[in-house]
Structure 1
Amino acid sequence: MKIAVLKEHADGERRVAATPETVRKFAALGATLAVETGAGDTASIADAAYRDAGATVGDRAETLAGADIVLGVQGPAASSLTGVSRGAWIVASLDPFGTGPDRGRARVDDYAAAGYEALAMEFMPRITRAQSMDILSSQSNLSGYKAVLDAAAEYGRAFPMMMTAAGTISAARVFVMGVGVAGLQAIATARRLGAQVSATDVRAATREQIQSLGAKPIFVETVAGIEGEGAGGYAGEMSAEYQAAQAELVSGHIAKQDIVITTALIPGRPAPRLISAAQVASMKPGSVIVDLAVEQGGNVEGAIAGEIVDVNGVRIVGHRNVPSRLAADASALFSRNLFNFLSAFWDKGTGRPVLDAEIGDAIRLTRDGKVVNARLLA
């Protein structure tokens, strides 16, 4: 069983899909590891570290030749996988709903035509036994943390209250919109930095989570939101009545905030709009908004992917691929997710992983030359 680890070529992608730690663990299962030269450079992992862990390191052609499993962070174009065995697994974040060349459904169709079995790690079901395999959670956790640091860097003022002989500096007011994994980490990080934190979500069940972190919950009380989790652990879409009530509540609250961090995503759909241009205009000059959903259309009107926009003194931060801005830690967690997934299904008799129906059917996009995932066939 040969496992190939590729160097990422997507713009701005600094992560890598395996570390020396996971290379050793795969080797202990009996797999042979091949790593493309320079794959770990941007994550502070030298080629020598992979060799010391037992992998061979070579050019892309050598790495892919006869590979049974190809590991990536972002799915490689099918056209770049020359030498990979037909029937090989492509295990990565595959973004089947994305757009652009060599992305989205077109890339999935190319995998099918080439005879590869494409496994989308972001489709991992949110069930107890798959928690250690969940790339969305591990990477979102880092995104929430980094969003607060990015906000602090742009804010230009202190976060905690400071009492000095020259007078008192008030604590920064931070408002987190969307209390999933990223939102919870953002709350915790902002609190650690000494900010006065509030948060909101459409799921009423998150109120206790917000309070447990020492933040103030901001919820619409007059209209029912979503009780508990939506499908797959995500929030669903809000009713028009709830959206209107939330917009009114948030408008009054947001004008008093120094920093707002938005994290709301709906899988397979554009990100919901949470902050309008009018609400941005209501904020004080020097305020900062960090939109973690900017690559899926954005939660904030006026946010631009890959840019920091200044709107009348309010800075809207729209960094792309936020986990990649913490490449070493993000790679460590991502690679463990991949190892935990493959090792959980490793069959010692055949020397390869054998998936079950519950997880296999959820993440498998292509097989035997066909697109087979129900979410893509609906």
Structure 2
Amino acid sequence: METLNLPASGPALVAHAAGDLRIDDVPLRAPGPDEAVIEVLYGGICGSDLHYWLHGAAGESILKAPLVLGHEISGTVVRGAADGSGPQAGTPVAVHPATPGPGAARYPQDRPNLSPGCTYLGSAARYPHTDGAFSRYVTLPVRMLRPLPDTIDLRTAALIEPASVAWHAVSRAGDVRGKTALVIGSGPIGALAVAVLKRKGAARIVAVDLHPRPLAIATAVGADEVIAATDTAAIAAVEADVVIESSGNHHGLASAINGAVRGGTVVMVGLLPTGAQPVPISLAITRELRLLGSFRFNNEIDDVIAALADGSLRIDPVITHEFPLSEALPAFEMARDSTSSGKVLLRFDGSVPA
């Protein structure tokens, strides 16, 4: 069913270049037969969004044209797909922002996150860029949409995408039940990894960060102990069976290797800069550590939604701030301050948080 006369355009958050973040009036793309229109309520600011704003690039993804940011969103379908597929108008949804790449390039077929040419909402990895969803209304293919049960509010649902990244990372380590887990870097992804480890039955979870606020958030979602990142001796003494490295810098990866037990597993989800990294790789060899990469996610989004719906995954404390779209720049300033914030949300309906 149709619900309202949609505007031809609406406000969206657009990165034009390094330091140039604007709220532009952006046309609403006409939906194809298998596409729906979403009224976006919340969007979480990701590290990649910050990089496009601060540097005009996220790693090797360089802005060549204005880019609508955002891939961590929740909202409601206001116009269902014309072919009747997918959720219909009135359905609250989360979004899986990936489109696997076409072609016959070799990769494990059950891991489409590794497909060459994969695109992601709000990414400048390819040109033309793939616009994101930090806008009042957005047209998306129904395959990206995940209906939400009544037990998940749209504010919490804005965390489903990053929680899926964390779920994928923890899953890469295998069965964590009864094991000691160490999380290096307790920003939003690290804190969400703590929550997932708790949900999956880790017996002891130790969180590491440079700052007290992220460590407090990690404790709120399930960490049993916290350690300052400067206390290298205490980190090494953990001897964790599983380490999730989410800091995204070589010092964090060095701590992850040092904190793993002999024969342990280190999952690298924090994206390090391109190029050589000075890490104690000899210890990984002599201790026979498994070093595993973790990139985005696949169908784990459905596991996250199920765990949120039954109450077994608690992630609300990761959200620390909420701003209306009109205050996007202060929101981004807050999000870059890891000493004061966890996940910072934008709200797109024009209301101002209490």
Q: Give TM class, smaller chain.
A: 0.3 to 0.5
| Higher normalized helix content (fraction of residues) | 1
Structure label with greater radius of gyration:
1
| Higher normalized strand content (fraction of residues) | 2
Q: Give TM-score, length-normalised by structure 1.
A: 0.41
Q: Give TM-score, length-normalised by structure 2.
A: 0.43
